[in-house]
Amino acid sequence: MLDKRMSLADIVGQLEDGMTIGIGGWGARQKPMALIREIVKSDLKDLTIVSYGGCDVGMLASARKIKKLIFSFVTLDAIPLEAHFRRARSAGEFEVMEIDEGMFQLGLKAAAQRLDFLPCIAGLGTDVMTYNPDIKTIKSPYSDDHYVAMPALNLDVALCHVLEADQKGNSHIGGPDMFFDEWFCRAAKKSYLTCERIVETSAFNDDHKILRMPIERNLVAGVAEAKFGAHPTSCGPDYGFDVPHLKAYNATAKEGWDGYVSDFIEEADYTAKIGGADHIRSLALPAF
């Protein structure tokens, strides 16, 4: 019987300096934060991070883990600007590949299909092309149109957080939006999932859940249970994002972030430290 269960530390033990790591979720939603905290505690360095960014990017930036960031935005959603990212970006602490949101998904989809690139028109006429001279345009073989040839974003590893998974690597995203987790996994050599709870495979014998199971198990190398593992980002439908926590976290970009690391990231009982299970379950889902 397949058993891909691992600990968070086991998963991070599979990562190496210099790797290109894709992180699922979007902004302050559905981020594999338990794994991010584990990476912050590790000796890993020189990572290329590929993310529709939120506090995952901010924390890795302030922990000096990022050599290069491939991104379209970094935001905490309810709080538009991510202070740790802003500080590190303005200090020039890492290289950037800043691209349109749609180009980003095409890069993952090109990698998923083992193609060098996929064409689009997003990027034309903008400084995305100026500051990314490696991104080329091509003339259509069928007309006089010119397209951006968005290069494949080949990932060494994808890290995603889902609602439920079984030990074989089947998984169910609680949603509502499944974002691009599927495409991160398809673009990666290896994918690791964290989940709110490990369930029996029989839990997926359910026509409604099946509609929210975009990642087939043979994409998944390992699964770790991490209850509240997306906090302080949201994990629908179980909990929303923790706005007061995110505000306090954001403030540490200026004040210095060592206190946040010792108070939360190095804290053995994270759930208790942030107010307990009932508090997290009471966090309202995002609404805009």
Partner 1 sequence: MSNSSPEYSLAELAIVAASEIFRDETPEVFATLIGTLPKLAGYVARETFLPGMMMSDGLYYLAAEPVPVGPRPGFESKKEGRIGYERVFTIVAKGNRHAFVGPVQVDKYGQMNLSCIGDYEKPKVTMLGVRGLPGNTVNNRTSMFFANHNKRALVEGEVSMVSGAGYNPARYPNGKYPIGLDHRQIITNLCVLDFEGPNHSIRVRSLHPGVTFEEVQDNTGFELVRPDNIPETAAPTQAQLDIIAKYDPHNMRAYIFKDNPAGRRAS
* Binding region for partner 1 (CB under 8 A): 26, 53, 71-75, 80-81, 85-86, 89-92, 98-103, 105, 120-128, 130-131, 137, 144, 146, 175-180, 285-288
DSSP string, 47-71: EEEEESBSHHHHHHHHTT-EEEEEE
At its nearest, how many Å lie between partner 1 and the CB of residue 158? 16
In this complex, which beta carbon is closest to partner 1, that of residue 176 or of residue 244? 176
Cβ distance to partner 1 smaller for residue 130 or 202: 130
Q: What is the smallest separation between the CB atom of 203 and partner 1, expressed in angstroms?
A: 23
Q: How far is the CB of 131 from partner 1 (least distance, A)?
A: 6
Min CB(145)–partner 1 separation in Å = 8
Whichever of 125 and 202 has its CB closer to partner 1, that residue is 125
- The half-sphere exposure of 116 on its side-chain side, counting CA atoms within 13 A, is 6
d(CA 28, CA 193): 18
> Is 120 or 198 the residue whose CB approaches partner 1 more closely?
120
Taking the complex as a whole, the smallest distance from the CB of residue 99 to partner 1 amounts, in Å, to: 7
**DSSP β-bridge partners for residue 198:** 165
CB of 61 to partner 1, least distance (A): 11
Produce one character per residue of 92-104: b if its CB has 16 or more CB atoms within 10 Å, e if not.
Answer: eebeebebbeebb
The distance of closest approach from Cβ of residue 224 to partner 1 in the complex, given in angstroms and rounded to an integer, is 26
Q: At residue 3, what is the residue type?
A: D
**Contact (Cβ atoms closer than 8 angstroms) between residue 274 and residue 264:** yes
Query: Is the Cβ of residue 131 or residue 206 nearer to partner 1 in the bound state?
Result: 131
Cα distance between residue 116 and residue 154, in whole Å: 9
Whose Cβ is closer to partner 1: residue 106's or residue 224's? Answer: 106
Nearer to partner 1, 9 or 211 (CB): 211
